[in-house]
Amino acid sequence: MAEKIIEVKKLARHFGKFKAIEEVSFDVFQGDVFGFLGPNGAGKSTTIRSILTLIKPTAGEIYVFGKELNRHRNFILGKIGCIVEKPDFYRYLSAEKNLQIFGRISGADISKSRIGEMLEFVGLKGREKDKLGGFSHGMKQRLGIAQALLHDPELIILDEPTTGLDPQGIIDIRNLILQLKNERNKTVVLSSQILSEIELIANRMVIINKGRSVVQGIVSDLLHSEDLVVAFEVDDPVKARQIAVNNFPENEISRIEDKSIRIHLAKDNIPQITKAFMENGISIYSIESKRKLEDYFLKLINN
């Protein structure tokens, strides 16, 4: 089994009577892309801030790289790169100067060429001398990622890293995370509201709700990878539903939306149901595998 990078045990944080987190526990292993999920106000940010020593927990324990967080704070933070919520920088300084400021106290010797390399990596080459006051949110987000990776950390914590990015930016970040995992064996903790993103790149995840960790584990195990949610766009969804019920009575027909019907079924059964539809005169306009995590997440949260 891979080495445990983060171990959070029964973490709690109360602000007066308000319990931001009550009992959050999870483990992150070496090389994981770890999805951190939860609805707004679930306690994601409080948990991430506790791991980064920005907030002192009321109860619970946090171990990072096998060491107790508070006792080895500087050692641990030296190996972490992070973005916490929105990327804020010194508006009156240039992109390059901002990276120099944070690089200087990152625990590593950051050369000017390394800063240039990171700015190029996030697509900000040519803007290094521009002051941050004129940067868009997306550009700041990219700079935030450059800052997080500047000192080549072993653990990267990204809280909503794709917020404000254009579609190309989102794809770039996704590829970057996969590159960090696959080529450099980095561990990435990724908090995001975009469930499809987590589903695409995370191998393990935890879902927290109302300050408690509800479930954690390997994403494919949790989602029963053999099952899919398939949306069929058809001319007659009511008739299609009946056909689906007749052919796969044990399968869940999740819902009918306008001209489409969603069915939980195994990948191997797609040709069979398609054939059944066609034999019964149903016209199929499209077949799409829907985001399964979304269904799983909503079911878990609503329960």
Partner 1 sequence: MFLKSIYNEFIKIAAKPRSYLGLAAVTLLVGVILFAMKADGLSFISFITASFEQTLSFEGNILNGNLIAFLILQMLIIHIPLLVALVTGDLVSGEGAMGTLRLLLTKPISRTKILFSKFLAGAFYTFLIILWLGFLALVVGRIVFGTGDLMVLNSDGLVIIQEPDTAWRFLSGMCVAYLALLTVATLSITLSCFSENSIGPIVSTMAIIILFTIIGTLDVKIFDHIKPFLFTTHMAAWRNFFEDPLPVKEILKSAGILVIHIIVLLGIAVFKFNKKDILS
Give min distance, CB of 44 to partner 1, in A: 14
Among 92, 120, 220, 281, binds partner 1 (CB under 8 A): 92
B/e letters for 186-199, b = 16+ CB within 10 Å, e = fewer, are bbbbbbbebbebbb
Where is 257: in which H helix or E strand? strand 253-257
- CB nearer to partner 1: pick between 77 and 180: 77
Query: Under rule CB under 8 A, how many of the chain's residues touch partner 1?
Result: 31
Among 25, 53, 163, 251, binds partner 1 (CB under 8 A): 53
**The pair of three-digit structure tokens given for residue 247, joined into one six-digit string:** 């052919």
107 touches partner 1 by CB under 8 A: yes
Tokens 């696959």 belong to 182
Q: Rounded CA gap, 135 and 126, in Å? A: 13
Q: If DSSP codes are grouped into helix, strand and coil, which group holds residue 97?
A: helix
Nearest one of 85, 84, 301, 37 to 195, comparing CA atoms: 37
Q: Rounded CA gap, 137 and 122, in Å? A: 14
Among 2, 3, 41, 54, binds partner 1 (CB under 8 A): 54
301 touches partner 1 by CB under 8 A: no
85 touches partner 1 by CB under 8 A: yes
Q: Rounded CA gap, 232 and 284, in Å? A: 7
B/e letters for 137-149, b = 16+ CB within 10 Å, e = fewer, are ebbbbbbbbbbbb
- CB nearer to partner 1: pick between 132 and 176: 132
Among 66, 67, 68, 90, binds partner 1 (CB under 8 A): 90
82 touches partner 1 by CB under 8 A: yes
Give min distance, CB of 159 to partner 1, in A: 10
147 touches partner 1 by CB under 8 A: yes
Q: Rounded CA gap, 41 and 212, in Å? A: 11
Question: Near partner 1 by CB under 8 A, which window of 82-90, 165-173, 199-207, 254-262?
Answer: 82-90
Tokens 């500047």 belong to 150
Residue 294: phi and psi, rounded to 5, are -60, -45
- CB nearer to partner 1: pick between 158 and 207: 158
97 touches partner 1 by CB under 8 A: yes
253 touches partner 1 by CB under 8 A: no
145 touches partner 1 by CB under 8 A: no
Give min distance, CB of 206 to partner 1, in A: 21
Give min distance, CB of 37 to partner 1, in A: 22
Q: Rounded CA gap, 57 and 152, in Å? A: 28
For residue 154, how far is the Cα from the chain centroid? Answer: 18
Among 1, 16, 17, 74, binds partner 1 (CB under 8 A): 74
Q: Which residues would be at the binding site for partner 1 (CB under 8 A)?
A: 49, 52-56, 73-78, 80, 82, 84-86, 88-93, 97, 101-102, 104-107, 147
